[in-house]
Structure 1
Amino acid sequence: MQSLISSASSLYYLVNTGLRYAIHRENWRHGKQAFARAWVRCYVKRTCPKQIQRRLGINTTIISGKGRVVSSTMKKGIRAASSGPLAKVKTAPEPRPSSSIILLSPTNQVLLLHRVKTSTSFASAHVFPGGNLSDFHDGPVLPSSDARRHEDSLAYRLGAIRETFEESGILLARERSKDGPMLNLPTLERDAARKAIHDNEISFREWLVSIGGVADTEGLLPFTRWITPHWPPKRFTTQMYVYMLPLETSSDPVLSAAQSEALIPTADGGAEITAAHFDDVTTWLERQNRGDLILFPPQYFLLHLLSQFLTGAPAELRPSETTEYYLAQRDKLRMFLETVPTTTHPKAREHPTSSIPWADKVISPVTLGLRYGDRRAILGLDKPGGELKGSSRGGDWERVVLVKFDKGAARNVEVRGREEVLAEEREAKAKEEALSKL
């Protein structure tokens, strides 16, 4: 589960500690940013404010105007050099393979899991089902030296289906063959299997064979990959999928419970997840906007894209017409995942990422700065991360995510056009400079 929001984890770590301004020489150009100003005060006063010391683990740091360290006591993992800029240790942790599913109900609602309040990270956040891959359950993946490690594969698909089963009890498998009906198990048998798989008592693949089931890996539609940036201590490369449950009425009691009321997962004894529930995409977004729940940038961004297609059926539709209505939504979504260009803004169409379909986009968020008005972070989504630097892969240049990180939670998340936001920032900067001359 934690791997699902790995990109959000790195963004919180980045913004909340200000390491972007501490470790990169070029970021000294952003002198008006909050953490840059804090570092300048460190230099002028020859000591760091206590809040900066607490955040970065620095006892005393003296920094020249060019970002060179004279003397410092740093946290483990940050290297100081008297002849060069502050820098991270060169050996960043390898991103761990993980996968996740955006699961659509027969009425095109989306499943989100509610993390427990006592979690040490992302407490009470709502996330998609998913987690780390396991050689024991899902099979091996390519070594870290191979760029194809960051591509869709059978191991990623099996891992996504297994994690969804462990966390929610919903089994995306078919009877006997890939073309068979959805596999439906009694609740007691299902829960016993979830616990045995979670405890590594039996491999997921062996268990499926033993009950005559086949994982519906072909039903998974790739929908972006997220790679954690280099600075956090834990990193992940997370393949996202969309899975559309059959439109016909289901007799699966677990699925019915998740649609009608919050389902309480039991496989991990409630250590990570407190509930699983389907709801309309617009409802999830509206609840986040009101502050009723927490969605981190990856989840909010993907739900925002899905909101173009997945809406509740209009009240005037007759029951016999709803199936066609939901089917049409799914057809539009499938087309969206494969169609290029992926942009509408004329300038964005000139960027190479516009020719990468959403099924293949790779996103490693980068902080472009902090908003003048509300100090929200501006997150760029076009970069694929250090492991894929120099490749033809990338994410979305047209949009950015605005977010305010507060005590480990993401607040005021919003998706906006990149050009519009940056134009607003240039205007705000010009006004500030004009006022400073008065």
Structure 2
Amino acid sequence: MSTKPVPNMNDEPAPAGSVVLISPTNEVLMLHRVRTASAFPSAHAFAGGKVSEEQDGRVPPPGDPRRHVDSRAYRLCAIRETFEESGVLLAKDRTGQLVDLPEATRKKMRVAVHKEEVKFVDWLKEIGAEPELDALIPFTRWITPPGFPKRFSVQMYLYLLPLDYRGALDPEHDGGLEHTQAELAPPTEWTARALRGDVIMYEPQAYILAVLGQFLTGPGDYAAQRAALSSWLWRMPTGKTDHYTAQIPWADKVFCPVHVGTTASGKEILAMEPAGPELEGQGRGGDHDRVVLVNDWVQSSRHIEVRMRDEVEAEERAAGAAPKSRV
């Protein structure tokens, strides 16, 4: 979600679904978008894409607040797009095991689904499989701020592959249609790369990875890491202040990042609590406790980090820069 928008105030956010896929060793899958992509070129992102009415079903129309709420269409979209973009099929067979397709079949069907030569759910039925809709954990929604040439309302989900998963986990890009690389790495490693500017990342990815990195810390007791994450996901309140967003569960949080100031060192400060104009007055929102700092486009890199708001405020006061920021 670039901080340099192009005015286009009437663009309705397109419904989309995305999966934060977590491997048995608690690594997160990221895809490197092609530099010619119409949205977020050259960025690293989670698997996902726009809801297709033909493939996934309908979402409520613009103006209906239910348009921005988790539903079957969003879930099916997220699973279908994950398969198209990475080859990882989140569907179980009649025995309750995740389907493990031969490589040739997987490649063939990824193309067929992408071209809409077959309907995804119909193909799954043919092979005796069901999409893992109930295994998706809703974890934040992101609405592109107004003023962008393309806007999205993206329902994010976590999917944790079983620790004893023994199927082939060899995600690969889609041949250059939308991505040039698929890679698994610990959340902390992705966060470090984004801070260094080694990869281009935007607010949703940077925020989610920073939060997950509190629990999924790398080699160690993967089960204990997941247990800590699971406990935190359902804990209320979700923040340490009395801000209203602390009373919103992670599954229902909505983020529409907004510029609120600049640090003494010149980094842009983005607040994470607004839900966006489409949801104004509905009591929805994101996270008041954290902000995102962006050093936008330094030598073709976008250095981005997630920080606690009170820490940034303290640093700005120490630097005598409080008047420059509304953080």
TM-score between both structures, scaled by the size of structure 1: 0.70
1:363 and 2:281 correspond: no
Q: Is the 8 A contact 1:296 1:410 kept in 2?
A: no
- Greater Rg, structure 1 or structure 2? 1
User: Counterparts of 2:15 and 2:62 in 1: how far apart (Å)?
Assistant: 10
Letter of the 1:292 counterpart: D
Give the structure 2 partner of residue 155 of structure 1.
73
Identity %: 48
Equivalent of 1:228 in 122, 144, 150:
144
Query: What displacement does 1:387 show?
Result: 1.0
Match status 1:292 vs 2:195: no
- What is the CA distance between 1:393 and its match in structure 2? 1.0
How many residue pairs match? The answer is: 324
Question: What is the root-mean-square deviation in Å for CA atoms of aligned residues?
Answer: 2.2
From 144, 158, 161, the equivalent of 1:245 is 161
Could you tell me which of 187, 196, 210 is aligned with 1:304?
210
Asked if 1:112 is matched to 2:59, the reply is: no
Q: Which whole-Å deviations, capped at 9, do the CAs of 1:306-364 have from their partners, x for residues lacking one? A: 011102234xxxxxxxxxx22222122122222111123xxxx2111011121211001
CA distance in 2, matches of 1:119, 1:185: 29
In the TM superposition, 1:26-425 aligns within 5 A as: 92-119=10-37, 121-176=39-94, 180-252=96-168, 255=169, 257-258=170-171, 263=172, 265-266=173-174, 269-314=175-220, 325-344=221-240, 349-373=241-265, 375-406=266-297, 411-425=302-316
Cα offset, 1:12, TM superposition? 3.3
Q: 1:408 to 1:270 in 2, by over 3 A?
A: farther
Aligned partners of 1:99 and 1:121: how far apart in 2?
15
* CA–CA distance in structure 2, aligned partners of residues 278 and 372 of structure 1: 35
Whether the 8 Å CA contact 2:91–2:130 is kept in 1: the answer is yes
- Asked whether the 8 Å contact 1:95–1:234 carries over to 2, the reply is yes
Contact 2:29 2:184 in 1 (8 A): yes
**SS of 2:61 mapped into structure 1:** coil
SS of 1:328's partner is helix
Structure 1 residue 212, shift from structure 2 partner: 0.9
Q: Distance in 1 between matches of 2:179 and 2:238?
A: 34
Are 1:122 and 1:408, in contact at CA under 8 Å, matched by a contact in 2?
no
Unpaired runs of 5+ in structure 1? 1-7, 20-76, 78-87, 315-324, 434-438
Could you tell which deviates more after superposition, 194-203 or 402-411?
402-411
The AA in structure 1 aligned to 2:202 is: F
| Paired amino acid for 1:202 | V
Q: Distance in 2 between matches of 1:218 and 1:379?
A: 33
Which of structures 1 and 2 has the larger relative contact order (alpha carbons within 8 angstroms, sep 6+)? 2
- Structure (1/2) with the larger helix percentage: 1
TM-score (structure 2 length as normaliser): 0.92
Change (3 A) 1:407 1:432: closer
Unaligned runs of 5+ in 2: none
Code of the aligned partner of 1:226: W
Instruction: Using the TM superposition, give the Cα deviation of residue 251 of structure 1 relative to its aligned residue in structure 2, in angstroms.
Output: 2.7
